[in-house]
Structure formats: structure tokens, C-alpha cells
Structure 1
């Protein structure tokens, strides 16, 4: 099992996408990359802590390759938008990959290079060393499944889930 910590806008979208993929055993929404211990959602939203909304994705590489996890990441958000995704604006919504060691950093660098080719350049995704990862409040965990009729889920998360399902259909869990 391996865990990647990734940030690409609101963590609800990343959480929703990764929960649909075979081989993913756990997805935890949380905060990392900041300067305040045990931050709350409200504090992170102020943009003063430097935390990113992120997910810790744990997966089995014998079922789903690491490259697919990372290519899905670059499919579900626009890595060319600095400190934002759509209407979500601020450093907490940055595109970032948090590496735990040099091997993971190299894997992430290769994924960024692939994404830069696919997106035609301009990828602003940062590579940051993984510091403390703080689990977000319980209501953020599996938010999409708990709130399928919520406006943000319908307008923003669902199209991202569908885009990844289409692009990586062979890795999508049976309904």
C-alpha cells in the first residue's frame, strides 16, 4: 500500500473521484502545508495558515498503478490555475503534491512533466515536502456521498467524477 497526499482545489472533489477507483482503500480529507497546528476549516478558509485542502489517498499498486492515481489527479483539476480552482480562490485551493521521500518526489516530478505535456504547458502544481497532515472535520469526509443533492456537488464535483470515470473506466469500481 502507498499513500499520496494531493491538493487540487476543494478536497470534496478529490475525495469523490478517488473513492470511485478500484484499488483505493482509503481517502482522508485534510489540511497540510501550513504553519498552524490542528487548523479548523474556518481558519484554513481565511488563507492565513498556508494550509492546502488535500486528500491522503491510500491505494494498492497491484490493483491501480501510481501513475493512474496521479494522471487522474491531473485530469480532475486544472493544474494551470494558480491558487484557485474555478470559483474557489486562495492558497488553500492550490495545486500541490506533498512528497514523503525522494522516491515519491521523483514519481511526482514525472507526473508533473506528463501533465505539462498534456495541458500544453503552464502547469503550476507545486512539489512540497509532506509535513503534518491534519484530518479535516468529520463532515468533510466522503462529503459527496453524504450530500449528493448539494449544489456544489452537482455543479462542480459530479462533472469531475464523470470526467475521471470516462478517462479511466477500466479502474472504476462497479456500481
Structure 2
């Protein structure tokens, strides 16, 4: 059981632009930052230790979100989604956070070219249909928010840290 509680200040929801895409991207960025922050300074070996019977841990959750970003916005194929929840033994928190941030930067570069929320997400390959930008952003808000909530709980169990 954690002995010291560290409290980060909570960040209020973002102020965004007025367009649909600006609002959706603003909330997604807010959640992306929250998820990465849960892993950044988390202690070893707790970042890879299962906190629940399913085996869920901080590194695995952020690694999974990296794969989801790459699949949704870059068109990467994932053949085993369960495997995306497991970090390699040699992966450090810094490694996993860096990969996540790189995926987010690459996804943002794609989104920067999107001006119509109803248009499909541009994909480098056209061998599988792409969702609309609206659907992709909404799904990523849901996916990132759900896992950021898991990460909040795991982080508090790990070392008592709370807040964003």
C-alpha cells in the first residue's frame, strides 16, 4: 500500500476553438496529455506490475494507446490487440512515453490536413476503408479517456499519486 500521497493539480477541461474539429482535437489532446503524465514519472517496477487480475499495468495501457493512435490515424494494421497491452521487458517508462508521443505527433500531422469532419481519415493505403474524421476523433476520445481512467486508478494504487 502506498505510504505517501502525491497530489498533482487537476487541469480543467480545455478551452478550444469553435469548430467541431477544434473541439474534438482539444479534448483528445487533453486526454492524451493526461495518459502520458500517468506514466512519465511512475516508479519501477510498478509501471509494469499488474494491478488487477487481467494483468493491466501502466506501460501496457500506454503501449496499447500508441497502437490505437497508429491504427486509427496512420493506417497501421494490428493483428493481435491483446498483445498491444504488454510492454517488452526492456521498455522503460521513457521509451513507452516517447513512442506514444511520436505516434501522437504523427497522428496530429495527419489531422492537421483534415478540415471536413465528415470526410474519411486520409490513409497511406487504400486497401481498407477509413472512418470519418468525426468518428475517429470521437472514438479516440472515448478510448483514451477510458484508459486514462484506468491509469488514474492504477497510478493511485501504485504510489498514491492522484490528479492529472
Q: Is the TM-score greater than 0.5?
A: no
Structure having the higher Rg: 2
